[in-house]
Amino acid sequence: MVIDGKKLAEEIIADFKTKETYSSAGRFLGAVLVGEDTSSVSFLKQKEKVAKEINIDFRLYRFPEDSTQDFLRKEVLSIAKHKTCGGIIVQLPLPSHINTQYVLNAIPREKDIDVLGERALGAFYVGRNPVLPPAAGVVQKILKNFYEGELNSAKTIVIGRGLLVGKPIRTWLEDRVVELTVFTSQTENIKSKLNDADIVISGAGQAKLFSAHDVKSSALVIDFGYSSIGGKLCGDFDPQEQDIEAVRYTPTPGGTGPMLVAQLFENFFTLNKE
């Protein structure tokens, strides 16, 4: 069964228009882009498109790839301090010469809709942040809508421990499932270790890392990975290998991607409630 992330995202976005915060926020969303990475530009265009759809003032701030980390931190803080700034995102990845966390830490907790600065992360780790990291929020919604068993008895595997996907999802799941296993790029024979899991969540970014043949027929697969093969976008999960009527999974594209964008704006509205 294919989980239509695009449809779910559209429902979330449509709900924004019925909320009081939709007309009362009156604040802009600032986005920082360093360099001209093609994927980063594409992701920001998706966010800008949604912002326009729901009448959010989306302001893109472009900086050259050779910008210093001190300069970027100062600029991020300057944008965030603007009276009408309701949220700010720094599009990742940043160039290799920049200490990413140092720049992200300039974002005030109350404007950190990506939950990437240490203040927001620290609050999230102890369950006190008003919003979840977008990937964790997406997992929460998919589990609520598509996982039919008891979550506290689910055997769960998370593939990858990256800043945007693996780490926040692992943290959110730790006290919610009976058994949680995290696999990394150093884990050998990943395919052979998936067939007992009720839930598999992947953010490895490795095309066709595993397939329907490797998971049990009743599994729920949430795929955040994306890669390109021959110009075609694909995820970590390959659904083509066998009949997978019973396996519930998010496709790539059209799965978690649209939901991540919708979750980002949900966080924006939550942090700007009046």
Helix (H, G, I), strand (E, B) or coil at 257: helix
**Confidence at residue 196, expressed as pLDDT on a 0 to 100 scale:** 94
Q: Are residues 172 and 239 in the same domain?
A: yes
222 with 1: CB under 8 angstroms? no
What average pLDDT does range 109-135 have in this prediction? 97
Nearest in space to 252 (alpha carbons), one of 264, 231, 238: 238
Any domain includes 14:
no
Helix (H, G, I), strand (E, B) or coil at 234: strand
Any domain includes 36:
yes
Sign of CA dihedral 213, 228, 185, 201: negative
Q: Are residues 223 and 167 in the same domain?
A: yes
Any domain includes 46:
yes
Residue 20 has pLDDT above 80, yes or no: no
DSSP 214: G
**Confidence at residue 232, expressed as pLDDT on a 0 to 100 scale:** 87
What's the Rg (C-alpha) of the chain? 19
Compute the distance between CA of residue 224 and CA of residue 256 in angstroms, rounded to an integer.
Answer: 6
Compute the distance between CA of residue 258 and CA of residue 245 in angstroms, rounded to an integer.
Answer: 23
Q: Are residues 163 and 249 in the same domain?
A: yes
Q: Are residues 95 and 176 in the same domain?
A: no
Q: Are residues 102 and 147 in the same domain?
A: no
Residue 271 has pLDDT above 50, yes or no: yes
**Confidence at residue 15, expressed as pLDDT on a 0 to 100 scale:** 85
Which H/E stretch holds residue 62? strand 57-63
CATH at residue 82: 3.40.50.10860
Q: Are residues 252 and 156 in the same domain?
A: yes
What average pLDDT does range 43-64 have in this prediction? 94
Give the distance from CA 103 to its chain's centroid.
19
Q: Are residues 51 and 138 in the same domain?
A: no
Chain segment 223-254, per-residue pLDDT in tens? 999 888 888 889 999 987 555 667 899 999 99
Chain segment 166-219, per-residue pLDDT in tens? 999 999 999 999 999 999 989 999 999 999 999 999 999 999 999 999 999 899
**Confidence at residue 244, expressed as pLDDT on a 0 to 100 scale:** 62
**Confidence at residue 148, expressed as pLDDT on a 0 to 100 scale:** 85
CATH at residue 206: 3.40.50.720
Q: How far apart are the first and last CA of the chain?
A: 40
DSSP 91: P
**Confidence at residue 23, expressed as pLDDT on a 0 to 100 scale:** 47
Domain count of the fold of the chain: 2
Identity of residue 219: A
Any domain includes 34:
yes
Any domain includes 116:
no
Which residue has 């609520």 as its token pair?
144
Domain that holds residue 230: 134-257
Q: Are residues 81 and 34 in the same domain?
A: yes
Any domain includes 195:
yes
Nearest in space to 156 (alpha carbons), one of 86, 242, 219, 97: 219
Any domain includes 241:
yes
Any domain includes 252:
yes
Q: Are residues 243 and 151 in the same domain?
A: yes
What average pLDDT does range 244-266 have in this prediction? 92
Chain segment 25-36, per-residue pLDDT in tens? 568 999 999 999
Compute the distance between CA of residue 51 and CA of residue 28 in angstroms, rounded to an integer.
Answer: 10
